[in-house]
Amino acid sequence: MKTKSTSQTPRTHTRNVILLAVTALVLSAWPIVALAADCPNKGVTATVTAASVHVWNSGTLTGNSTVSTTNGMTVDGTVAPNGGGGTLTFGGAVQLNGGATTQCKVTPQDPSTTPQVSASAQVSLGGRLSVTMTGDFSSAPMRFTLLYADSVNSLHRTFDSQSITYPTGQGCWVPQITYDYSGGHVHVYLDRVINCN
């Protein structure tokens, strides 16, 4: 009797995955750092661990993974979670400066209670919140969680500006950004508000 034995080396998709353990991460020369973005293997995540992270004006941090810092993260550029039920998680404080943009994409299939951005420490909100809604929301949840943080800087409790792009002709509703500071935490929601005028 003959037996056949095969061995396969596990294939790892690393096209857009970055795993770093560094002293400081500065995003300026790179246009985009993607954390497990567009990876066909669901459940693949990336973790960046650094003393501090700075996303400069020309930089973009995107994905649904974790950025852990001991000295916090400063954003002057763009933070763009992938959405779709995943979360871009910050382990440490996050400061979104006036030039920063936080981009969220919302579809009717997204879990309504899973935040797209989450911070385990204080967040200082600033810059622009840009939300794009795509799909048929006629029977979707009335609220989607965009951001959660353990605490919020009392001087920077809201984004400086916001824009929402949404589909029309799907019933009597309009989108609205809502802030909730219950229990010392902050939740930023996208609400579908009934308006039949």
Residue 53 makes CB contacts below 8 A (sequence gap 6+) with 24, 25, 26, 27, 61, 67, 69, 72, 73, 74
Pick from 144, 157, 155, 156: nearest CA to 117: 144
- CA-wise closest residue to 101 among 160, 144, 171: 160
When pLDDT is averaged across residues 28-32 and rounded to a whole number, the result is 40
Identity at 49, one-letter amino acid code: T
What pLDDT is recorded for position 45?
A: 59
Q: What are residue 190's DSSP bridge partners?
A: 144, 177
Q: Which string of DSSP letters, residue by residue, matches 136-180?
A: --TTS-SEEEEEEEEEE-TT--S-SEEEEE---SSSSEEEEEEEE
Neighbours of 18 (CB within 10 A): 17
Banded model confidence at residue 17, pLDDT cuts 50, 70, 90: very low
Q: Which residue has the higher pLDDT, 119 or 83?
A: 119
Percent of the chain scored above 70 by pLDDT?
77
Taking residues 158-165, what's their average pLDDT? 98
User: Average pLDDT for residues 53-76, to the nearest whole number?
Assistant: 91
Residue 108 has pLDDT above 80, yes or no: yes
Q: Is the pLDDT of residue 23 over 50?
A: no
Q: What residues pair up with 60 in beta bridges, in sequence order?
A: 78
Between residues 197 and 94, which one has the greater pLDDT? 94
Model confidence, pTM: 0.80
**pLDDT at residue 81 in the model:** 94
pLDDT of 2 above 70? no
pLDDT band, residue 159 (cuts 50/70/90):
very high
Burial of 16 per CB tally in 10 Å (0-12, 13-18, 19+): middle
The answer to whether the CB of 144 falls within 8 A of the CB of 180 is no
